[in-house]
Structure 1
Amino acid sequence: MAKPTPRMLEVLDAKYITPNMRRVTLGGNGLSDFPEDQESAYIKLLFPQPNDTRPLMRTYTVSAQRDDAIDVDFALHDAEGPASMWARNAQPGQQILVGGPGPKKLINNAADWFLLAGDMTALPAISVNLAQLPDDARGYAVLEVTTELDMQILNKPKNMEIHWVINASPNANDCPLLERVKALAWLDGQPAVWAACEFHSMRALRHYFKTIQQLPKTHLYISSYWKVDNTEDQHKVEKRQDAQTELLN
């Protein structure tokens, strides 16, 4: 199946929803044939480069969709890449080329209870996942954010508990996300897990879910969205190598 042709979208609005999360609303004529029901799907933002070299592509989640607009939430870091820098400075009327959407990544709803875990880069996707769970869903969402002011009010079933983890300085050696997950009471029945975060944290969580809790592949989605001290291009290479190694184990 051919990939969708990138479309030119226009910035309709840009605002901070927390100190370290900025929401950019995209729309315009280029959105006219954008597929429906794409919340949690990924898109590719294309940034032109000098001398007509290949544009930089950065991957983000559709956090909300309306007939005439989509919202994209950007987690902002001190060490800014081209996408977060663009988002911080985005103003209505600016345009950007957008590829996709790619496949939606949703938690397996055929489970007795649910566990979602991630850092701020995964918060948009986790928000969509929480909102689409059945009303009687029970379980946990463990969310790592930079400051207490980055905590958000989320649409969720009443029996899904939210646990916030504050981590102002993510690094390769500590995994507060895993420590909070391990402290949760493991409920009875078959869980479904959805997790996405920094590369080192992802590997620690993956070991816990696959080896310690022995979750089947059918009920475990886990991915790294970035790697500390790496560009997205470097992260993609390491992510691919890690996936190949994991298949051999």
Structure 2
Amino acid sequence: MNKKKIRNLKVINKQKISLNMIRVTLGGSSLNDFTDNEIGGYVKLIFEDKNKDKSLMRPYTIRKFRSKEQEIDIDFAIHDKDIGYASLWAKNVKLGEEIQLTGPGSKSMFDLSCKWFFLVGDMSALPAISVNIEALNDDYIGYAVIEVLSEEDKQLIKKPKNFIIHWVINPEPWKKNTKLLEKVLTIKWYNFTPFVWVACEFSNMKVLRNFFKNTKNIPKENIYISSYWKSGLNQEEHKIIKKKDSKNNF
């Protein structure tokens, strides 16, 4: 499949699934080569920057895919602080409007040979976390620590019976804080090595990476960790510091 292929889609549906998250359904015949395996992968939405006469691309997780209808669902976290191109588009878009995207890109899944899992993320990672948890059967155990803006942003996630989800409420995630780490530190660990999956704001990612890598000594092959955004920076600026940081860390 050509991951760089430009696909032209229409907005089929739009719904508010929590206080600060909107789900946009996109559909069209250009999804005819997608498969159910694409759920959890990502697409890159293409926006025109009229001020700079160029296109901007924003990656988003494929939350759901319906092959018969040729539709994908994409969830957008919405808040009024430093709202970006994609969130602003999702907030204002009308049914029938068109958008271009590329993909699908690979999934940030975890190693199912591990006995237990530890997932940590904020609302930007909630769609990916949800997909990962929903892929597990009842043989798996573990924890997820998820930061959301409000109590009304908690979501029902289909999970294994012995998998525990902890919600952290932070109405101002763009301000420097350690709320995710504080909750992570309260979790009782099992007596064997987990697979750790982390995605959140850049500064919080660095703190969590240090904890899992240096305090808990999680080996490289047992961890996926990424920043999805950085407070105060746009996506292009974030990509620059993310690339620089990755050269010195796994």
Alignment TM-score, normalising by the size of structure 2: 0.94
Match of 2:30, SS state, is: helix
Q: Given the superposition, is the C-alpha separation of residues 171 and 49 from structure 1 closer, same or farther in structure 2, using an over 3 Å criterion?
A: closer
Q: Given the superposition, is the C-alpha separation of residues 155 and 122 from structure 1 closer, same or farther in structure 2, using an over 3 Å criterion?
A: same
Unaligned runs of at least 5 residues, structure 1: none
Equivalence for 2:220: 217
User: Retained in 2: the 8 A contact 1:24–1:90?
Assistant: no
Equivalence for 2:47: 47
| Bigger shift: residues 43-52 or 165-174 | 43-52
Unaligned runs of at least 5 residues, structure 2: none
Q: Residue 242 of structure 1 is aligned with which of 242, 245, 249?
A: 245
User: Retained in 1: the 8 A contact 2:19–2:152?
Assistant: yes
Q: Residue 77 of structure 2 is aligned with which of 72, 75, 91?
A: 75
Code of the residue aligned with 2:201 in structure 1: it is E
Deviation at 1:183, TM superposition (A): 0.7
Output aligned runs, 1:26-45, within 5 Å. Answer: 26-45=26-45
Code of the residue aligned with 2:189 in structure 1: it is W
| Bigger shift: residues 189-198 or 170-179 | 170-179
Output aligned runs, 1:15-30, within 5 Å. Answer: 15-30=15-30
Deviation at 1:133, TM superposition (A): 1.5
Percent identity, aligned pairs only, is 46
Deviation at 1:119, TM superposition (A): 0.3
Q: Residue 206 of structure 1 is aligned with which of 206, 209, 231?
A: 209
Output aligned runs, 1:125-204, within 5 Å. Answer: 125-171=128-174, 173-204=176-207
Output aligned runs, 1:83-102, within 5 Å. Answer: 83-102=86-105
Deviations 1:88-130 (A, max 9, x none): 1122111100111111110111112111110000000000000
How many residue pairs match? The answer is 247
Match of 1:134, SS state, is: coil
Q: Given the superposition, is the C-alpha separation of residues 33 and 182 from structure 1 closer, same or farther in structure 2, using an over 3 Å criterion?
A: same
Output aligned runs, 1:56-67, within 5 Å. Answer: 56-67=56-67
What's the RMSD between the two structures over aligned residues? 1.6
